[in-house]
């Protein structure tokens, strides 16, 4: 019980740090894009519920911290209904209510400016991830096990496909492999799908086609997960790569793109019923991951200074991955998300008028149902994983 309490206390701090950083940057993207377009922001809120702290800046924006740090928002002038954009009749009524300040209202800006302000949140998340991964590449570089096969598990897909100890994996489906853990990352979202390994076998290039198999494994935190494997074993050798500024930027961009591509691939497979949604995670999953990263980082440090450094670097890295996830999810074309609003603006640009209030309401209800469905699935996954860790 004491261990669970310690994990929970550290997990709360770690969770608030990573989720706070990611959400604040997302909402700041909306805020400053709005200010660039002359839109007045009435409220910038981190969290929901009762206000813990609030202050008004010289531009008239109220900055508040609320009791539940599970999200945040920017409320622009005239943005009384977050579910949809006003139709023509509602816009006329809104202009009469706001009067001379209508030019500072979000809804009266050109459609391209509203689309820019809406897209600025996810864009800010991608920029944050690029900055994080670039700085990490510059300061600590990258390390891992070389992509060399130390052994092939008996009865595994790798054995059937013809892998041999000593094979060096060069690429998978054309993507270069530098570290052994990248092999797992390439297979993670496509269990059962045949991929092509290019291996160096004693100076000779050999192509091997193999399909992974889902296996239940226990991670280093004691939790059980089903992941795609082919049955390759790694060596204990470590390699280290240090980057200069230009190389670090390239590495940061590359890492962001890899996460975007793999996540987009996985979401597409879920929507086409080619993959299980069991890897989707929600707030509880983020809390568990943040707590695991923080606790393992503390244990890895020989001194308090080392532990603090490890915790900071690892949580910042986790925030980079979560920032990409938040950006991608918000770009899904689902009403109530940023991507759904962008669909409305695209319709308005083509039709030369806002979508009718009735159609927006239908879209909102459908979008809400989809988001709630995803949250239920993610929460179920989170609870199942947490059960294997703590009970």
> Active-site positions?
27
Angstrom CA distances, 69 to 24, 289, 347, stand at: 11, 17, 34
Contacting residues for 359 by C-beta, under 8 A, at least 6 apart:
none
Q: Which helix (H) or strand (E) holds 252?
A: helix 245-271
Contact 230, 199 (CB under 8 A): no
Structure tokens at 1: 């019980």
Q: How many CA atoms lie within 13 A of 84 on its CB side?
A: 22
Task: Retrieve residue 180's tokens.
Answer: 């052994």
Contacts of 207 (CB under 8 A, 6+ apart): 196, 197, 198, 199
List residues bridging with 207 in a β-sheet. 198
Place of tokens 């510059």: 138
**Terminal Cα-to-Cα distance of the chain (whole angstroms):** 10
Distance, CA of 187 to CA of 165 (rounded, Å): 20
H or E stretch at 349: helix 338-351
CA distance linking residue 171 with residue 120, whole number of Å: 35
Tell me the C-alpha distance between 336 and 153, whole Å.
48
Asked if residues 388 and 224 have their Cβ atoms less than 8 Å apart, the reply is: yes
Distance CA 347, CA 87 (A): 12
Distance of alpha carbon 18 from alpha carbon 323, whole angstroms:
9
DSSP 278: G
Q: Which residue has the tokens 């130390």?
A: 150
Q: What are phi and psi of 334, to 5 degrees?
A: -115, 125
């Amino acid at each position: 019980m004491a261990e669970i309490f310690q994990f929970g206390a550290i997990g709360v701090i770690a969770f608030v740090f990573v989720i706070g950083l990611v959400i604040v940057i997302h909402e700041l993207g909306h805020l400053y894009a709005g200010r660039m377009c002359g839109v007045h922001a009435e409220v910038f809120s981190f969290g929901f519920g009762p206000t813990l702290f609030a202050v008004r800046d010289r531009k008239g924006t109220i900055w508040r911290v609320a009791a539940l740090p599970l999200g945040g928002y920017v409320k622009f002038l005239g943005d009384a209904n977050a579910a949809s954009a006003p139709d023509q009749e509602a816009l006329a009524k809104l202009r009469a209510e706001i009067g001379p300040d209508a030019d500072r209202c979000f809804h009266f800006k050109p459609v391209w400016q509203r689309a820019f302000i809406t897209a600025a949140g996810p864009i800010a998340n991608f920029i944050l991830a690029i900055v994080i991964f670039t700085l990490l590449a510059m300061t600590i570089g990258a390390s891992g096990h070389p992509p060399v096969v130390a052994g092939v598990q008996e009865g595994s897909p790798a054995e059937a496909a013809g892998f041999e100890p000593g094979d060096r994996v060069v690429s998978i489906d054309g993507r270069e492999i530098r570290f052994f853990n990248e092999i797992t990352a390439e297979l993670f979202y496509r269990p059962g799908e045949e991929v092509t390994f290019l291996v160096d076998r004693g100076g000779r290039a050999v192509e091997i086609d193999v399909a992974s198999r889902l296996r239940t494994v226990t991670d280093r935190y004691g939790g059980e997960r089903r992941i795609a494997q082919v049955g390759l074993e790694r060596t204990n050798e470590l390699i280290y790569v240090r980057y200069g500024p230009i190389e670090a930027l390239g590495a940061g961009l590359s890492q962001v793109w890899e996460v975007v591509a793999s996540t987009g691939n996985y979401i597409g497979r879920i929507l086409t019923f080619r993959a299980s949604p069991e890897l989707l995670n929600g707030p509880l999953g983020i809390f568990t991951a943040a707590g695991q990263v923080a606790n393992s980082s503390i244990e890895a440090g020989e001194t308090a200074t080392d532990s603090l450094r490890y915790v900071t670097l690892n949580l910042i890295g986790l925030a980079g991955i979560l920032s990409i996830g938040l950006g991608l999810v918000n770009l899904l074309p689902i009403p109530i998300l940023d991507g759904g609003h962008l669909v409305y603006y695209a319709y308005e640009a083509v039709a030369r008028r806002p979508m009718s209030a009735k159609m927006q309401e239908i879209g909102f209800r459908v979008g809400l149902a989809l988001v709630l469905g995803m949250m239920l699935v993610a929460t179920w996954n989170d609870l199942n994983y947490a059960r294997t860790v703590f009970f």
